[in-house]
């Protein structure tokens, strides 16, 4: 580099020093897209839902306009931030994807498997049973099957069924047992209140302990948030609750966002709002306590 101008040498050195920071800055933040692999995202997670790809992150505190979803990638035991809200989650029209290029880009024990030239994070398998997707509100999704990983000889992975790629609706169905159970509960509550309109103060009484325990059992048995929300929404239409009961419901819910949603449903049906301070103890963070206070003060 004897005859190289000094200003050019300086420019090369500056470029080498600045490159790592420039590369990191170029990575997209959570919620921004499109993305084709985790390396393009600051938090190392890229999702594709209904052909919309964007950067995401594993659950913690999701950015505004996103919420913590435990269903779309529930088969992989993965909770990520996705666009939408608990009240209006995205409705999958095709198998949700986690684009990748190599195994080490996939969270946990997931692998980067290839099918039809497309690589996505998924789980290793030996049988189709390992690839069963969770139900959502009684709707069954039969999108995945255990097949050969085209990117690694001899390895099997949970991959989208080819017929589902061509026609996703053909791989969706209704679990009549689950839906029937929800309808049966709704019918029982309607029967309990039959023959009259909704009671008015001072005759409002909290749900009986036996019936509340039955309701709490339904909430515990529900696998996903939208199922729990449906159970609480149905129960709240014709029943009232005390603060202790609301606290017990919140106690079986893990995530703060879901607790806030449950409180929005149950708070208008409280019969002893003077005890509502006891409900705040079920929220860990100050921001969530403030949200709960606003709901209870309405």
The percent of residues in the chain predicted with pLDDT above 90, rounded, is 43
CB atoms within 10 A of CB 8: 10
Reading the block at residue 259, the tokens are 């607790």
- Is 215 domain-assigned? yes
Interhelix angle 225-236/176-192, rounded to 10 degrees, is: 20
Has residue 269 been placed in a domain? yes
248-278 pLDDT per residue, tens: 999 999 999 999 999 999 999 999 888 989 9
Digit-coded pLDDT (tens) for 152-172:
999 999 998 888 877 777 777
Long-range contacts (CB closer than 8 Å, 24 or more residues apart) made by 289-293: 291/260, 292/259, 292/260, 292/263
- Statement to judge: residues 108 and 226 lie in one domain: no
Same domain, 28 and 152: yes
Tell me the pTM.
0.49
CA dihedral 211, 217, 223, 226 (to 10 degrees): 20
Question: Do residue 56 and residue 149 come from a single domain?
Answer: yes
Q: What is the dihedral of CA 61, 225, 271, 238, to 10 degrees?
A: 150
Domain presence at residue 191: no
Residue 255 and residue 167 share a domain: no
Distinct helix (H) and strand (E) counts, the chain? 8, 10
**What is the domain range of residue 98?**
23-174
The model's pLDDT over 187-235, given as tens digits with 9 standing for 90+, comes to 444 444 444 444 444 447 888 888 899 899 899 988 888 889 989 998 8
pLDDT at 13 over 50: no
Q: Identify the pLDDT of residue 192.
A: 46
* Contact status, residue 106 vs residue 73, Cβ threshold 8 Å: no
Q: Is residue 185 part of a domain?
A: no
Q: Does 204 share its domain with 63? A: no
**Among the listed residues 203, 66, 192, 181, the one whose alpha carbon sits nearest the alpha carbon of residue 135:** 181
3-state secondary structure 157-212: EEEECHHHHHCHHHHEEECHHHHHHHHHHHHHHHHHCCCCCCCCCCCCCECCHHHH
Q: Are 115 and 164 found together in one domain?
A: yes
Total structural domains within the chain: 2
Is 16 inside a domain boundary? no
Spell out the residues 6+ positions from residue 97 whose beta carbon is closer than 8 angstroms to its own: 47, 48, 49, 53, 118, 120
Let me know the angle formed at the C-alpha of 245 by 202 and 197, rounded to the nearest 5 degrees. 40
Structure tokens at 124: 């290793």
């Amino acid at each position: 580099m004897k005859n190289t101008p000094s200003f050019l040498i300086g420019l090369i050195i500056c470029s080498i020093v600045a490159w790592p920071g420039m590369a990191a800055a170029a990575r997209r933040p959570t919620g921004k897209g499109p993305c084709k692999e985790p390396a393009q995202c600051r938090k190392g997670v890229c999702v594709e839902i209904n052909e919309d790809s964007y950067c995401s992150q594993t659950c913690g505190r999701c950015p505004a306009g996103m919420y913590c979803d435990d269903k779309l990638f529930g088969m992989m035991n993965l909770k990520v931030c996705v666009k939408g809200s608990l009240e209006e989650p995205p409705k999958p029209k095709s198998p949700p994807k986690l684009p990748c290029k190599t195994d080490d880009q996939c969270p946990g024990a997931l692998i980067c498997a290839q099918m039809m030239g497309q690589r996505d994070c998924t789980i290793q398998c030996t049988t189709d049973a390992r690839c069963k997707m969770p139900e959502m509100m009684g709707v069954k999704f039969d999108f995945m099957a255990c097949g050969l990983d085209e990117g690694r000889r001899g390895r099997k992975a949970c991959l989208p069924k080819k017929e589902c790629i061509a026609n996703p609706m053909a791989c969706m169905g209704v679990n009549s047992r689950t839906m029937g159970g929800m309808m049966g509960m709704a019918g029982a509550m309607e029967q309990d209140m039959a023959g009259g309109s909704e009671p008015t103060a001072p005759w409002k009484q909290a749900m009986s302990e036996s019936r509340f325990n039955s309701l709490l059992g339904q909430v515990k048995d529900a696998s996903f948030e939208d199922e729990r929300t449906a159970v609480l929404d149905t129960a709240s239409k014709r029943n009232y609750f005390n603060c202790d009961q609301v606290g017990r419901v919140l106690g079986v819910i893990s995530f703060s966002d879901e607790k806030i949603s449950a409180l929005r449903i149950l708070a208008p049906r409280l019969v002893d709002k003077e005890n509502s301070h006891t409900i705040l103890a079920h929220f860990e963070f100050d921001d969530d306590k403030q949200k709960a206070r606003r709901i209870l003060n309405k």
